[in-house]
Amino acid sequence: MRPLTIDTLNPAFDKVQYAVRGELAIKAEALRDKLKEPNHGLPFDKVISSNIGNPQQKGLDQPPITFTRQVAALMEWPELAKLAPHAFPKDVIERANELTAEIGSIGAYSHSQGVPFIRKNVAKFIEERDGYPSNPNHIFLTGGASAGVSLMINMLISSPKAGFLIPIPQYPLYTASLAQHQGRPIPYYLDEYSDWSTSVESIEAAIKKAHSEGVEPRGLVIINPGNPTGALLDEATQERLVQLCEKHSLVLMADEVYQNNLHKAKTHPFTSFKKVVSKLQSPIPLVSFHSISKGVSGER
C-alpha cells in the first residue's frame, strides 16, 4: 500500500493557490492560538480576519438576522413552535410552514438542481430584476457560488489545451480552480488608470496570444461588479463582450455575486448579463453566478 503523501496525490493540487486562505490566514490562526496563552507577550488581544467577508466572526460579532435564524430553527425542529408557542412571531411560523409544505423534512435529499419552490422564487427575482422571463429549470442551487464555478470549469475542460480568459486582478478562486482541474489560465488585464475598466481589445489580444501558444479558449470570465477592484461595467461594454463571445464561440461566465454591493447605485446601476443577452437575443451560452453570502439584508 502506498502511503498518503504529497508525492502520491494528484500533482495538480500542488499548484492550487488560494490567497484568501494562504500564508496570512495561517499566520493569523497561529496568533490566535498564541493569544490563548496566559502570558502571550503580544501587543494586542484579538485577531480579526479582514481577508474575507465574514462579519459574524468573533471580534466583529455582527448579530445574525433574527427572522432567518428563527425560520431555520423551526425547519430544523418543527416541534419548537408547539413547545415555545410565544417565542416565534406569526410571520416566522407562516414562513416555516410554507417551506415545510413545499420541502418536507430538511433531512431528506432535495432535487439535484435544488428545491423547485426555491428555484421558482429565484427565477421570479431574476425576472423582476431584468424584465425578461426566467426559467426555473435553468437554475441550479449549489453550496455557494464557488462550487458552481468549480463545477463549470471542470465541465468545460474538454482537453489539456482548454483555456479560460480571467481578469487580472481577480478573485483567486479562478486560478485555483483551473489549477485543480488542469485548465489553462488566459489572463487579460484591467486598466488601473481608467477605473479598472475592461477593454475588449485587451481580451482580443489575449485570445490571439493563446491561439499562438496552442491554447483553446473555452470561456470568458467577467467579474461584475469587480472583485477586488469594485469596477462596474456599463451596458455598452457588456454588449461588446457578448458579441466577442459570439465571435469566438466562448461560454460567458458572469460572476455577479456583488450586484447588491454598489457604491453609487442611483447613478451607476447594475445591469446583469442575463438582461443584455436577452435584449440582444444572443445565442451565446451564459452562466451567471450569484450568492446569498454577498446579499444585503437587515432588520430593525
The answer on 278 and 197 residing in a single domain is yes
**Omega cis (within 30) before 169:** yes
Amino acid at 75: M
The answer on 214 and 191 residing in a single domain is yes
The structural domain count of the chain equals: 3
**Mean pLDDT confidence for 141-149:** 93
Within 8 A by CB and 6+ apart from 216, the residues are: 159, 161, 162, 163, 210
Q: What is the pLDDT of residue 85?
A: 84
For residue 114, is it within any domain?
no
Percent of the chain beyond pLDDT 90? 67
Smallest CA-to-CA distance from 152 within 168, 173, 121 is with: 173
The answer on 56 and 101 residing in a single domain is no
Smallest CA-to-CA distance from 142 within 134, 131, 151 is with: 151
Q: What is the pLDDT of residue 122?
A: 96
DSSP state of 220: E
Q: What is the pLDDT of residue 187?
A: 95
User: Using 50, 70 and 90 to split pLDDT, how confident is the model at 20?
Assistant: low
The answer on 204 and 71 residing in a single domain is no
The answer on 169 and 94 residing in a single domain is no
Smallest CA-to-CA distance from 265 within 230, 293, 299, 297 is with: 230
pLDDT value at 169 more than 70: yes
Q: What is the pLDDT of residue 9?
A: 67
Q: What is the pLDDT of residue 6?
A: 72
Any idea of the CA torsion for 237, 125, 251, 295, to the nearest 10 degrees? 80
Least confident of 54-68, 71-85, 264-278: 54-68
The alpha carbon of 14 is separated from its chain's Cα centroid by a whole number of angstroms, namely: 23
The answer on 102 and 151 residing in a single domain is no
Q: What is the pLDDT of residue 1?
A: 55
For residue 137, is it within any domain?
no
The answer on 260 and 223 residing in a single domain is yes
For residue 267, is it within any domain?
yes
Smallest CA-to-CA distance from 226 within 176, 167, 160, 272 is with: 167
The alpha carbon of 130 is separated from its chain's Cα centroid by a whole number of angstroms, namely: 20
Question: At how many degrees (to 10) do helices 90-103 and 66-76 cross?
Answer: 50
For residue 133, is it within any domain?
no
Last residue of a domain, one of 81, 108, 135: 108
For residue 150, is it within any domain?
yes
Q: Does residue 163 contact residue 215 with C-beta atoms inside 8 Å?
A: yes
The answer on 269 and 167 residing in a single domain is yes
Q: What is the pLDDT of residue 7?
A: 74
What's the pLDDT tens digit per position in 231-266?
Answer: 999 999 999 999 999 999 999 999 999 999 888 888
What's the pLDDT tens digit per position in 217-233?
Answer: 999 999 999 988 989 99
Q: What is the Cα–Cα distance from 73 to 54, expressed in whole angstroms?
A: 22
For residue 35, is it within any domain?
yes
Structural domain boundaries enclosing 68: 64-108
Q: Does residue 262 contact residue 268 with C-beta atoms inside 8 Å?
A: yes
**Mean pLDDT confidence for 209-213:** 97
The answer on 79 and 48 residing in a single domain is no
Q: What is the pLDDT of residue 286?
A: 97
For residue 257, is it within any domain?
yes
Q: What is the pLDDT of residue 26?
A: 87
Residues in the chain: 300
Within 8 A by CB and 6+ apart from 218, the residues are: 156, 157, 158, 162, 163, 164, 183, 250, 251
**Mean pLDDT confidence for 160-189:** 91
Read off the CATH number of the domain in which 289 is found: 3.40.640.10
What's the pLDDT tens digit per position in 81-124?
Answer: 999 989 999 999 999 999 999 999 998 899 999 999 999 999 99
Last residue of a domain, one of 26, 41, 62: 62
Cell of 26: 495561517
Residue found under cell 493557490 = 17
Residue found under cell 494586542 = 44
Q: Does residue 114 contact residue 141 with C-beta atoms inside 8 Å?
A: yes
For residue 187, is it within any domain?
yes
The answer on 158 and 48 residing in a single domain is no
Q: How far apart are the first and last CA of the chain?
A: 60
pLDDT value at 10 more than 80: no
**Considering the chain, what is the average pLDDT of its residues?**
90
The answer on 188 and 76 residing in a single domain is no
The answer on 151 and 183 residing in a single domain is yes
Q: What is the pLDDT of residue 264?
A: 83
Indicate the helix (H) or strand (E) that contains 179. helix 173-181
